[in-house]
Amino acid sequence: MRAIRKGTLLNSKSGVDAFVPREIVIAYWLIPGEPAHSFFQGAINDLARRYDAPLFEPHVTIHVGANHIDAAEHALSKAARECQSVTVKALGIDYSDEFIKTLFVQFALNTKLQQLNAIVRSAAEDSSDYKLNPHLSLLYKKIPPVVRSELADSINVPFSEVTFNALQAVRCILPTQDRTDVEAWRAITRRSLRSISV
């Protein structure tokens, strides 16, 4: 992995530079099962090609914590033993001026997501203040608001619900600010969640 800057100067709206600390963390991702995975990966690939943006795997971040690989392995193993696949209601496409939420699918927060977040946080022995807000990003790129709005209106997600059946731990840079940061992400470990009993 490339060397990480300890901090970055950002130009705030007030015109005053603010020092933003940078750190390596582990993000815990929920990975969608098929057919949603193929649909979202296709959308991400298409948008990345059209807007010269980075490629990444479709995911919902369930937790972000300290950079401890052993803890990440333990957390994913425990979650895989204790949790079934999670089905989540899709609320629609939204966008923001935040790089990592340029264009995204917003999901409804439910009890199973909250339980999974709690299991991962506890097993990783992590006290970070990450706030769970389930969304699946489709594009990471600084683009004008009007373009983001047009894209949000043009994409139709063909699922009212999406089932997530795997967990992955990924080492990444926080805050993620540009393409180079995204391309520096490295998967550490992955576990399948138990199938939902019929």
In the block, residue with structure tokens 């990480």: 4
Average pLDDT, rounded, for the chain: 88
- Looking at the predicted structure, is the pLDDT value of residue 12 above 70? no
Instruction: Report the SS3 class of residue 40.
Output: helix
- Looking at the predicted structure, is the pLDDT value of residue 14 above 50? no
Quote the Cα angle for 86-57-126, to 5°. Answer: 60
- Looking at the predicted structure, is the pLDDT value of residue 126 above 80? no
176 versus 138: the higher-pLDDT residue is: 138
- Looking at the predicted structure, is the pLDDT value of residue 130 above 90? no
Least confident of 1-15, 65-79, 83-97, 142-156: 1-15
- Looking at the predicted structure, is the pLDDT value of residue 10 above 50? no
Q: Give pLDDT, residue 20.
A: 59
pLDDT class of 196 with cuts at 50, 70, 90: low
pLDDT class of 69 with cuts at 50, 70, 90: confident
In order, the DSSP letters of 70-117 are HHHHHHHHHHHHH-B-EEEEEEEEEE-SSGGGSEEEEE---HHHHHHH
Structural domains in the chain, CATH included, are: 24-192 (3.90.1140.10)
Q: Give pLDDT, residue 15.
A: 41
